[in-house]
Amino acid sequence: MNRPGPFQNRFDRLLKWGLSLGLLALLPACLASPTNQVSGFRCSGSWFIPPSFHGNPWSQGGDGTHLAFVYEPLFLYLPDSQTYLPQLGLSYKISGKRLDIKLRPEARWHDGRPFTSQDVKSSFLIYWLQGWGGRLKKIETPDPHTVQFEWHEAVGPLEIRQVLGRRIQAAAHLFGQWSKPAESLLHTAQQTLGADRRYSQAQQRFYENLQLKKNDLLQAAYALRPPEPIGTNAYRVSKVTSSELVLKRSPHSWHKAARVQEVRILRGSTNDVMWAYLLGGDIDASHATTPPDVAQQIQRLNPRVKLFHLPDFANFGYVFNFRKPPLGDRVFRQALARLLDRDRLRMVGSYYSLTSDSQQLPLMQSDASHWVSPELKAGLLSYHYQPKQAFQALSTAGYTRNSQGQWLTPQGQKIALEIAVIAGYSDWVLASEAVAAELSHMGIPTQVRTYDAALYHQLLRQGQIDLAAAFGFDYRQLMHPGVSLDRLFSQGGYLGMAAGLPVRLTGRKGRPLALQERVETVVGSADANAARAAAEDLLWLANQQLPFLAIYEKRISVFALEGERVRGWPQGDDPIWSLSSTSIDTVYAYLLSSGRLVPSGPS
């Protein structure tokens, strides 16, 4: 049959033209390559989607990755060298209950106004409204470049570190109308509540009332919408869209050395998105938990990528819910710890991390020697991978196995566990899958359930989980084990609440231990020895009771692109990397503003 093809008439011409035009339109799109790759530094991060984004750093819409490039603290703490890098502050002096800080005179706000002690005071009063500084007495500003903090009693290093390390975000000329009433509120509060730790009923009522008043002030301060971008650091916000946030060099900043003119932050949250950016050479720095083969592929496809493995100052593991039998049984928890080969789990979840030590202390391993005395160490239990002994311990405690090999409680109930994980935290999910597989293999059928964050926190608080994946210690920003002990042992502590720990537990010397009081001593005491003794008590307890089973101490992989847009990345062992204890963005911000990272133009 020989039909003339239908492509010969008006209808078909229309179709033909339509299709060819469509293809033609697609062609340049295929050819179009990212054209403008000039100055600037790019990293990934998150912020609020405009127009909910605003320039008030205190309330939610102003929060985001960009803050590290826009604001700075008085000092940056370097855990590696245990030193402070002066930023807005020049020097500080601790004398008893007082802390005196000298400020950098050449520091300026975004608009060129000089940076003064009023700004520091204003910022910390807002922090106080937010709940910081429970035992603070007053903040004084004898002159524009000096600020004095005074507490009811001598405070520990943790409090000092908070003052020195928090970002100064409340310019007095913008936030003064709320920080001034806050100051008078602080005054009344310290007169009424005084130095007491235990409140009378009247004081308790006053305290709750105070909280509401503080909240009112805070809400008013949150409502401020600054007319222009503010900040003291080298960059200021210039453009915000839902997919990118652009920062430009701030003209009045005291960071004269900063040479990179522009910082672009791309929205990126999950690992796979960041890998995609890296592969495309779209960003200069990214951190993502990455297995070695993916890292290799990325480096193969883009040879300019440098890879650094940095401590993340947090460990990952599982909190046990004491309310759920048999997890309430110490023997069972200890057996679980010995059933899991944490080294193998670590490789699956986060290859470059460090396997958690066998003592299961809520401390960084590098920090352990500082907090654990030899005599404490001698009394600690060890949780090596030793399944045989674990099985034996279970049998001794009355646990049995049925014909299918499933473990039964001494009461004869079948044991089956569930691990709750936040969806989207991929290394948590992967490690948990591996844990579940391992436990199931050992005769304890275990399933992983992923919940989104909203539901996860609710379940955790209500104690509805068996095992919940979480960060055990989280040193971020303060570099002190008090933080993690507080999370674990104090009343209302996040992990302790999830575990359902009792208020008192039997301590090292066979005496009941008041957990709250011990935590407060670790966190607040200026007496280093007292703090250490209290810490030892709690560390011992963590080791014995095992409310939290740590799998690995997290390290993040930072991929940096050398020579694409910027150059000058420090060596891997440079202590400056340990600024990442605050946040990895702080490292980038410091390297840029101090002029260590420079544009990679023709040199």
Candidates 128-136, 175-183, 510-518, 533-541: pick the segment binding another protein (CB under 8 A): 128-136
Q: Residue type for 374, please? A: P
Name the residue nearer to another protein (CB basis): 414 or 461. 461
Q: Is 447 in the site for another protein (CB under 8 A)?
A: yes
Of 388 and 509, CB closest to another protein = 388
Regarding 1 and contact with another protein (CB under 8 A), the answer is yes
426 binds another protein per the rule CB under 8 A: yes
Per-residue tokens: 70: 């826009």
Is residue 153 helix, strand or coil? Answer: coil
Among 601, 585, 583, 603, residue whose Cα is nearest residue 593:
585
The nearest distance, CB 266 to another protein, in angstroms, is 6
Residue (455 or 533) nearer to another protein, CB: 455
| Residue 309 neighbours by CB under 8 Å, 6+ apart | 352, 555, 556, 557, 558, 572
- Residue with token string 């990679």: 600
Cis peptide before 311 (omega within 30 of 0): no
Q: Which is nearer to another protein, 202 or 454 (CB)?
A: 454
Site size toward another protein (CB under 8 A) is 96
Determine, following the binding rule CB under 8 A, whether residue 481 of this chain makes contact with another protein.
no
What gap in Å lies between CA 393 and CA 384, rounded to an integer?
14
**Cα separations in angstroms, 49 against 46, 59, 238, 239, 276:** 9, 14, 15, 12, 21
Instruction: Compute the least distance from the CB of residue 26 to another protein, in Å.
Output: 7
Q: Which of 458, 502, 504, 511 binds another protein (CB under 8 A)?
A: 458
Kindly state the smallest distance separating residue 417's Cβ from another protein, in Å.
12
State the pairing for strand pair 75-78/83-86.
antiparallel
Within positions 13 to 32, which residues make up the interface with another protein, using CB under 8 A?
Answer: 15, 18-19, 22, 25-26, 28-30, 32
Q: Do 345 and 434 form a contact (C-beta atoms < 8 A)? A: yes
Half-sphere exposure for 50 (CA within 13 Å, toward CB): 13
Say how far apart CA 162 and CA 168 lie, in whole Å.
11
Residues 6+ apart with CB under 8 A from 56: 62, 222, 224, 225, 226
Is 440 near another protein (CB under 8 A)? Answer: yes
CA dist 585 and 573 (Å) reads: 18
Per CB under 8 A, the segment of 160-168, 273-281, 304-312, 540-548 that binds another protein is 273-281
Q: Helices in 7-113 by DSSP H: which ranges?
A: 10-31, 67-70
> Among residue numbers 342 through 361, which ones bind another protein (CB under 8 A)?
344-345, 347-348, 351
Under 8 Å between Cβ of 55 and 62? yes
- From the list 6, 227, 303, 510, which residue makes contact with another protein (rule: CB under 8 A)? 6
Using CB under 8 A, which residues numbered 360 to 399 contact another protein? none
Q: Which of residues 540-569 bind another protein (CB under 8 A)?
A: none
Among 96, 112, 142, 280, indicate the residue that binds another protein (CB under 8 A): 280
| Segment near another protein (CB under 8 A); pick from 160-168, 179-187, 394-402, 430-438 | 430-438
Tell me if residue 359 falls in helix, strand or coil: coil
Window contacting another protein (CB under 8 A); options: 75-83, 138-146, 293-301, 369-377: 293-301
Question: By CB under 8 A, what part of segment 129-158 binds another protein?
Answer: 130-132, 134
Q: Specify the residue, 301 or 528, whose C-beta has the smaller distance to another protein.
A: 301
Q: Closest distance between another protein and the C-beta of residue 485, in Å? A: 14
Distance linking the first and last C-alpha atoms of the chain: 72
Backbone phi, psi, residue 517, to 5°: -65, -40
Residue closer to another protein (CB basis): 295 or 576: 295
Question: Is the separation of the CB atoms in 104 and 88 below 8 Å?
Answer: yes
Using the rule CB under 8 A, give the single segment among 3-11, 324-332, 384-392, 575-583 that binds another protein. Answer: 3-11
Cross-strand partners of 236: 248
Cα–Cα distance for residue pair 373/67, rounded to 1 Å: 39
Tell me the residue type at 145.
H
Helix (H, G, I), strand (E, B) or coil at 599: strand
Peptide bond into 251 cis (omega under 30): no
450 binds another protein (CB under 8 A): yes
Candidate ranges 77-85, 124-132, 253-261, 364-372; the one touching another protein (CB under 8 A) = 124-132
Q: Name the segment binding another protein (CB under 8 A); options: 163-171, 259-267, 509-517, 528-536.
A: 259-267
Residue 349: closest CA among 467, 441, 433? 433
Residue type, 44: S
Give 452 or 517: the residue with its C-beta nearer to another protein: 452
Smallest gap from Cβ 111 to another protein, in A, equals 26
User: Rule CB under 8 A: which of 511-540 touch another protein?
Assistant: none
Binding residues among 37-96 for another protein as defined by CB under 8 A = 37, 42, 48-52, 60-61
Q: Taking contact as CB under 8 A, which single stretch among the options 355-363, 387-395, 428-436, 577-585 is the one that binds another protein?
A: 428-436
The nearer residue to another protein, 31 or 378, going by C-beta atoms, is: 31
Whether residue 263 contacts residue 566, with contact meaning beta carbons closer than 8 Å, is answered with: no
Q: Is the CB of 102 or the CB of 449 nearer to another protein?
A: 449
User: Which residues in 183-222 contact another protein (CB under 8 A)?
Assistant: 208, 211, 215, 219
The span from the CA of 231 to the CA of 115, in Å, is: 10
Yes or no: say if 361 and 368 are a contact pair by the CB < 8 Å rule. Answer: yes
Taking the complex as a whole, the smallest distance from the CB of residue 373 to another protein amounts, in Å, to 30
Tokens 């929060």, residue located: 63
Is residue 270 part of the contact set for another protein (CB under 8 A)? Answer: yes
Q: Is 406 in the site for another protein (CB under 8 A)?
A: no
Among 90, 160, 185, 273, binds another protein (CB under 8 A): 273
Q: Are 349 and 579 in contact (CB under 8 A)?
A: no
Q: Which is nearer to another protein, 70 or 266 (CB)?
A: 266
Name which of 229 and 291 has its Cβ closer to another protein: 291
Distance CA 184, CA 134 (A): 15
